[in-house]
A and B are shown apart, each in its own frame.
Chain A
Amino acid sequence: MSAPAPASEALQLALVGVPNCGKTALFNRLTGSRQKVANYAGVTVERKEGSFVGPARGQRYRLLDLPGAYSLTPTTLDEAITRDCLLGRLAGEAPPELVVCVLDATNLRLNLRLVLELRELGVPMIVALNMSDLARGRGFALDRARLEQELGVPVVETVAIRDGGERALLERLESLPRPPARSSAEWHTPSFDQIQATQREARRILHAAGYEEPVRKRALRRLDALVMHPVAGPAILAALLFFVFQAVFSWAAAPMELVDAGVTWLGQALHDALPPGALRSLLVDGVISGAGSVLVFLPQILILFFFILVLEDSGYLPRAAYLLDRMMGSVGLSGRAFIPLLSSFACAVPGIMATRTIPNVRDRIATIMIAPLMTCSARLPVYALVIAAFIPNRPVGAFNLQGLVLFTLYVAGILSAMAVAYALKRTALRSAYHPLLLELPEYKWPNLRNLLLGLWERAKIFLQRVGTIILALMIVLWFLSSFPAPPEGATGPAIQYSLAGTIGRALEHVFAPLGFNWQISLALVPGLAAREVAVGALGTVYSLSAGGDHVAATLVPMIAQTWSLATALSLLAWYVFAPQCLSTLVVVKRETNSWRYPLIMAGYLFALAYLAAFITFRVASALLG
C-alpha cells in the first residue's frame, strides 16, 4: 500500500464510460463546471479537463472527462481519443493514475464490457453506478457489494444530477491509497472469441450480483410506438417543431418590447445628457443603435433554446434521429449525422466537432459540408428583424404568419442541406450506406437545474458576444462610417462620404442584382465575423444615415420604410445559405486538416446564397411589381 499523496500534488483522474451514462454531469458536479449535458449519446467528443479538492483530506484532483466509448476498440475518432488517453498514447499527457468508470445503472448489460477491458488493462479503477436513484425507482435489482466483490474494484452509487450525489464517490476516492504512477500500456484488439468471452463474463457477473431488469412500463412502450410510428412519428415531429417556431415569435413579443424600450430609453438618455460631438455619436449611433439592436433578440434566442434543451433532456431526440434515418439514408447520409446536424442549429462549430462520432470519413466530410446550412442561432436575429419588418403579425388559421415564415426558413435550410448532401454523396463523396445503430435512452422529465443552467449559459454567451466582439465591431464600423468628414457644402448624411459609405457603394455593384442597397451590402461584411453582427451593423449604418439631431427610431420601422418586400425576401434567401462565419471555416480546417474543404464550403455557399437571393428578388419583383 502506498502512502497517501501529499495534498498539494494533484492526482490525475479520468472519467470513462459508455456514451450517455452521465460522465459529463458527474464532471460538472465534481468540478463545478458547466459543460454541456444531454440525454443522448455523443455529446462529448473531446477530452475536457477540470480540477477539484477533496473535502476530507484536501487532496487536489485533476479530472479528465473523456468521450464515451463502448470498448477499448474504437470505431470513431472520439472513441480513439478515450483509448489513447487511457493507454498513455496522447502526446504530452501522462496516462491517468486512477480511472472512474461511470456506468449507467439502468443499462448495465451494455456497460460492463468496458469495465472488464479496463480491469484487464490493469488500470486502477473505481466504478460509479450512476443514475442509481433512477434504477431503484424503476425497479432494477442489484447487490452492489456483490458486484464489487465480483469485479474486485470499489463500486459506489452516484446521482450526478443531484446535490450530494457524488458524496459516496468522493469518500471512496479519499479512502484509497495513491496508486503508483502508470506508464503507457499496450492494448491489442480482441478477437471475436475474446469479445464473446468478455460478454459471457459480464453476464455471469451480473447474474451473480442479482441484477434484474424490470419490465418496461406499458405507457412508455405505447409512447415509443406512437412517436416512432412511420406515419404518426414524423407528424408529431413536424408539429413539435412548428409549435417551437410559433412560440419563438408569440412568446417573445412582450419581453422583446421591454428590451427594445430599455435600449431606446438609454439611447435617448445619453443623447440628452451628452453635448453634440463625436463621443455622443459613438455612444448613441455606434454602441446603442448597433449593439442594442442585437440585444433585442435575446428573448427569442432563449425561447428557442428552452425547447431545444427540453427535447435534449427528455430523450426524444434520438427517437427523432431514428425517424429521420430513412430521409437521411435516401440522400446518402449516415443516420449518425443527425446529432451533429442538430447541434448545428445552436452553432455550426460544435456541430462540426460532433461529426467525430461518424466512423466513415466520406460520410463525415459530407456532414461537415452541410452543417452550416442548418439555421444556427446567430441567424435568428437577422430572420426575426426582417420578418418583424415585412411580415404582418396576423393569424393564418390556427397559426401566426410570422412563425409560419420562420418555420419555412428553417425547413428551407434543412431541405437545402439534404439536396447538397444528395449531390455530394452521388459525386465526390460516394460511399456505401451505413445503417444506423442507435441507443435509445429512457424518457426522462427534463431536469430543472440543467434547464436553468443551460438557459443561463446561452444568455451569458449571447450577452458576452454582444458586449465584446459585436460591440467592438460596431465601434469600428461607427468609425468607418463617420470618417472622413463630409466635404464643405455636402448635403447628404455624413456616412455617404465616409470610408464605410465608399466600401458599401463599391460592394453595391456586386449585390445590386439581388436588390441589396449599399447599407445592406456593407452590413454583410462584418456579418462574416458572426452573422448577428449584420443586424448591429444595419442599426449603426441606418442610425448614422438618418442624420439630424434626433435619436434614430428603432431598426424595424426604418428598414420597413426603405426596403422593398422583394429586397427583404431576397435577404432572407441570402441568409438561408449565407457563407458561414470565420470561426466555422477555422474549425472545418482543423477538423479536416486541410484548407481544401473550408474553401470549397465558402465557395459553394456563396454561390448558392447569391443564386437563391437573385432568383427570389427577380421572382418577387416580377410578382409584386
Chain B
Amino acid sequence: MLEAIVVGLIVLAAALYATWTLLPAAVRLRLAQRAGDWGRRPGRAGWLQRASTAVETAARKRAGACSDCSAVQATRQRGDDPPPQR
C-alpha cells in the first residue's frame, strides 16, 4: 500500500512538473503571478508566502520559453541571488 502511495505521488509530481514546464511562458507567468498574489495575501502562513514567491521567481527565471537556450540561462533578475561583490 505504502509503495503504491509513493509511486502515485512521484507520478503525480512528475505530471504536474511536465505540464507546468511545457506551458507557454506567458501562461506560466500569469499563473505564477496569480499564485503569488494569492499566497501573499495578509494572514497567509509564512511558508505559503515563501512558496508562492519562489514559484513566481522560478517562473520569471524561465520566461525565455526554452530551457535549452543558453541565451536565457543565468540571467540575473532584480531581486534574485545576491549580486557578486566586486
Enumerate chain A interface residues (CB-CB to B < 8 A). 30-36, 46, 48-55, 60-62, 166, 170, 277-279, 282, 346-347, 349-350, 353, 377-378, 457-458, 460-461, 464-465, 468-469, 471-473, 475-476, 478-479, 529-530, 581-584, 586-587, 590
Contact = CB atoms under 8 A, between A and B. Distances in A.
Given A279-B3, A476-B15, A476-B18, A49 B70 contact: no
A566 B65 CA distance: 36
Nearest to A348: B66
Contacts of B83: 31-32, 50-53, 60-61
A517 B21 CA distance: 29
A277 B25 contact: no
B78 A49 contact: yes
Interface residues of B, number: 32
A464 B11 contact: no
A469 B21 contact: yes
Given A55-B85, A461-B68, A583-B65, A34 B10 contact: no
B45 interface: no
B22 A33 contact: no
A35 B74 contact: yes
Chain A interface secondary structure, helix, strand, loop or mixed? helix
A279 B7 contact: yes
B67 A461 contact: yes
A170 B86 contact: yes
A176 B3 CA distance: 65
Nearest to A376: B68
B43 interface: no
Given A349-B69, A378-B68, A457-B70, A468 B17 contact: yes
B77 A49 contact: yes
Nearest to A34: B74
Contacts of A36: 70-71
Given A35-B74, A48-B75, A278-B7, A349 B66 contact: yes
Contact of A49 (B65, B68, B69, B75): B75
A583 B15 contact: no
Nearest to A31: B76
B22 A582 contact: yes
A554 to B, nearest CB: 23
A154 B78 CA distance: 28
Contacts of A49: 75-78
